[in-house]
Amino acid sequence: MNRPLGVLFLCTHNSARSILGEVLLNTLGTGRFIAYSAGSTPRESGQPNPLAIQTLRDAGFDTQGLRSKSWDEFLRTDSPRIDLVITVCGNAEQACPVFPARPATAHWGYDDPSAGDAPDEVKAVAFRTTLFQMRRRIEAFVALPDASLERMALEQSARALSTT
């Protein structure tokens, strides 16, 4: 690869799962990937879910500069180049727009750790579980050889990881 691959994680509110994916890939894929996240209807406050932020911090990840944003930011002509779009929730998978340059796509579904009315202590466990599951998959993704990340093989490689 002669440049880092741009990867966009999508989820409805861009406040939990997609934020986790962005941080994990930017940290674990140093130099080979540039990860972003966005959502169809981001949080009005622009702030990711506080439990997502706390989970990342507790695991030793940098959370500075994270914000909940619309996928419209990635549909403009001056947007960063996106080579792969990974949806992490079913709603985003169904409503995913067509991005410039027609990136490869994959769906890595995870349960929403913020769903329901459970107390924060219970949700915190769900966030840690989701972070662990995502980390395993992203570690496998960043370990792929460069040939598996070329344009024609990228979608197939990413989709194959949806079952891990």
Domain boundaries, given as residue ranges, for the chain: 5-152
- pLDDT, tens digit, for every residue of 105-156? 899 999 999 998 999 999 999 999 999 999 999 999 999 998 888 865 877 8
pLDDT at 93 over 70: no
Residue 92 has pLDDT above 80, yes or no: no
Residue 161: per-residue pLDDT: 87
pLDDT tens digits for range 67-89? 999 999 999 989 999 999 999 98
Cα–Cα distances (Å) from 16 to 26, 38, 55, 61, 112, in that order, read: 16, 10, 10, 14, 8
Catalytic residue of the set 5, 11, 16, 149: 11
> Is 89 considered catalytic here?
yes
Burial of residue 54 (CB within 10 Å: 0-12, 13-18, 19+) is middle
Q: Does domain 5-152 have CATH number 3.40.50.2300?
A: yes
Catalytic residue among 5, 19, 89, 104: 89
- The mean predicted confidence, pLDDT, of the chain is 91
Checking if the pLDDT of 96 tops 80, the result is no
The pLDDT of residue 152: 56
Question: Does 75 participate in catalysis according to the annotation?
Answer: no
Type of residue numbered 159: R
Q: What is the pLDDT of residues 10-20, one digit of tens each?
A: 998 999 999 99
Alpha carbon separation from 11 to 31, 41, 72, 96 (Å, rounded): 24, 9, 13, 9
Indicate which residue of 28, 96, 142, 144 is catalytic.
96
Q: How many CB atoms lie within 10 A of CB 63?
A: 14
- How many Å apart are CA 19 and CA 56, to the nearest integer? 9
Q: Are 11 and 18 in contact (CB under 8 A)?
A: yes
Residue 6, beta-bridge partner list: 34
Return the DSSP state at 66: -
User: pLDDT of 102-116, one tens digit each?
Assistant: 899 899 999 999 998
Catalytic status, residue 11 = yes
